[in-house]
Structure 1
């Protein structure tokens, strides 16, 4: 059988070390085989003229709930596939489907749907494993999560979940809860990443949690304690702990709304690109027109309003979810937070790849890595999304078949 070859030339290739001007990238059987300056002949290869566009590693979204009108908690396999197909258009080549707090039976059902969807997913972002967000959270920091299902971690319950599914990549919990440290140690022993989230913990509690495996702060700043006062004494919270613990990784919803530009600049200044991952935390309304939507399960989820590029509660008293896409996160970091493009890309590629322990194959453009690639212009408009050497999305073809998408 002959090799499947792809040649992408005349592009600006973003590597971990520099941007190669007028570069050529060669793919053989889904793997990057050559990255050079200039052009070379590759007989038998499918060719893409990048026409001066950037060629970046595929975007990795560690925390995502939905898109295109679907949510991972909807209770069916097709929702997983439709969400993956939606986000591949925005450059996301891999993702961790994320749950919400729910009844145990619903959680187990969702994990089963993941396994089925992963086996047949051919036209969307790859699935890297499930992210369980909850139900072990502080009710004081419930955010948009349903407090009815929040509880302390119990070994009998979480061991049942872990035995049921081998697909769990990460699990977010409030580390101050009774049993949370034991829970973190158990996850770490299984190679699953524990993360702090929806937490009222003070610095000392987060530090102890870090020592017990909680090395990531989920949607940093959101549903997370800051400086508090107890009996006249001030205590640093989870946010301050994220800054003070140098080795703590943080993920941020960099839409410019959940975190405004000054906070994005602060996170970048203190944590840097190597410790900061960009996430969409996207809900079902992502990629859909403004108006009413549902947060969570389509049957009994929370009705929300999409306007101003974010989901809000119907009374507009608080945010209720993100409708960000990966390309938007990078645009925001570059244009509003002043982060160099190469480092903004790192936050959406190499950093999440390291955190998720898939950096041996993903996250950078280097020989031997998976050919997960994104082509985009100066405004970070996605032209092509390529997964393991296969062209999964082409903006040019989409416009040919859907001319209504052409902007005035």
Structure 2
């Protein structure tokens, strides 16, 4: 097999940054990570030019980009979204749906299955994330209220018959039937996540006991401290920060969460419990202006300005337009996080959360050759997925 040698780079490993190192790729795998230069012989040479060489970014919550949404019902959209985000360093992603009727979800599963087979030039698909429809109405955000409902065993069991296509499912644990739902997800090997919820601490504890292990976009669409009959109750925000059993994901676009909250989450949870996510909608990578969240035919009209999507009346955010490079840059510049920790949260931790740490998330011998080269400003110079060079900055 033809080898690729990346030389003259600052290599980011799980343990350190090698000031001047070499990475050797054989086929689709990393076969060497070392200090200095290495004479491999007949190989394609990539001169990193002193830039950083990093594990590829793993986005476990993304809805779209480049003018496409995974809910459009179009295989081409899946492929274009994957290609768009690869340009910004994402080498693997979990395509995410929105609350909808069952028939639409099943159709999306069919399209995903075909797109997965034909995805040659974009971020690898790791399975679908079903975001809803089992949510709290008060915390629905931009989710369509017409389809919000309690978990229905007949419905979710039918959908989960295709469980090899579903990687994670987000739900509100206080909904009737949510505990049985969490247990069933765990039995099927599907990650159960807490999202769009009004739960209090006691309900979160029960959820963790019944298989839930991740808080979806912490602070967004979830309860904080509340008062009932003069007594205070911790919400999902406080529960997620307090409980070591819960991983958290955060939209680090610098808008959904300002710098003080980014710093707080990092201080409390640390880089090994935090996954950075774009939660990007179709407008990611496009200029500001009008856009649509969800299906292009009947989705929610939004306006993109100030680097975020908003409802037309500007009363609330309606989605992120971020890309993975921006998340890393923001954690460094806004939250004062070291580069290596920012990369952990964009690669190693999401890989562990999704149960693929044996093959992705770090630059180690034997792992998939998913690699990003970027400069000191986290501007992507090159993206390699499975040993294939899919993007190079012109």
Q: Same fold (TM over 0.5)?
A: yes
SS in 2 for 1:132: strand
Per-residue deviation, 1:118: 0.3
- Would you say 1:224 and 2:222 are equivalent positions? yes
Question: Could you list the per-position Cα deviations for residues 103-127 of structure 1 after superposition, in whole angstroms to 9, with x for gaps in the alignment?
Answer: 1111100010000000010010000
Q: 1:121-151, CA deviations, whole angstroms, 9 ceiling, x for partnerless residues? A: 0010000000000000000100011111000
Aligned mate of 2:8, from 7, 10, 13: 10
Gaps of at least 5 residues in structure 1 are 397-408
Distance in 1 between residues matched to 2:162 and 2:137, nearest whole Å: 27
Match of 2:280 among 271, 277, 282: 282
| Aligned residue in 1 for 2:299 | 301
Distance 1:17 1:89 in 2: 26
SS at match of 1:166: helix
Cα offset, 1:389, TM superposition: 1.0
Output the CA distance in 2 between the equivalents of 1:52 and 1:169: 37
User: What is the aligned partner in structure 2 of residue 101 from structure 1?
Assistant: 99
1:310-321 aligned within 5 A: 310-321=308-319
Between the aligned partners of 1:113 and 1:101, the Cα distance in structure 2 is 17
Residue 247 of structure 1 aligns with which residue?
245
SS in 1 for 2:169: strand
Cα drift, residue 247 of structure 1: 2.1
> Following superposition of structure 1 onto structure 2, how do residues 9-408 of structure 1 map, counting pairs within 5 Å?
9-396=7-394
List gaps (5 residues or longer) in structure 2.
Answer: none
Aligned pairs, how many?
394
Give the SS at the match of 2:71: coil
Name the SS for the 1:215 alignment partner. strand
| Alpha-carbon separation, structure 1, partners of 2:76 and 2:56 | 23
RMSD: 0.6
CA distance in 2, matches of 1:44, 1:108: 48
The CA distance in 1 between the partners of 2:125 and 2:134, in whole Å, is 24
Q: Report the TM-score, using the length of structure 1 for normalisation.
A: 0.96
1:165 shift after superposition:
5.0
Q: Secondary structure at the match of 2:103?
A: helix
Is the Cα–Cα contact under 8 Å of residues 23 and 35 in structure 1 kept in the other structure? Answer: yes
Is the 1:67–1:283 contact (alpha carbons within 8 Å) kept by the matching residues of 2?
Answer: yes
* Alpha-carbon distance in 2 for matches of 1:178, 1:314: 33
In 1, distance between residues paired with 2:38 and 2:187?
A: 47
* Stretch of structure 1 that moved more, 161-170 or 274-283: 161-170
Contact between 1:112 and 1:165, CA under 8 Å: does it hold in 2?
no
Q: Distance in 2 between matches of 1:336 and 1:347?
A: 15
2:101, 2:390 → 1: CA distance? 35
Once the two structures are TM-superposed, the CA of residue 43 in structure 1 deviates from its matched residue by: 1.4
Contact (CA 8 Å) 2:163, 2:188: kept in 1 or not? no
| 8 Å Cα contact 2:163-2:190 kept in structure 1 | no
* Rounded Cα–Cα distance in structure 1 between residues aligned with 2:42 and 2:270: 42
User: Could you tell me how far apart the structure 1 residues matched to 2:356 and 2:29 are?
Assistant: 15
Shift of 1:40: 1.1
Distance, in Å, in 2 between the alignment partners of 1:87 and 1:328 is 11
CA distance in 1, matches of 2:129, 2:107: 14
Write the distance in 2 (CA, Å) between the matches of 1:164 and 1:273: 32
1:232: Cα distance to partner? 1.2
Normalised by the size of structure 2, how large is the TM-score?
Answer: 0.99
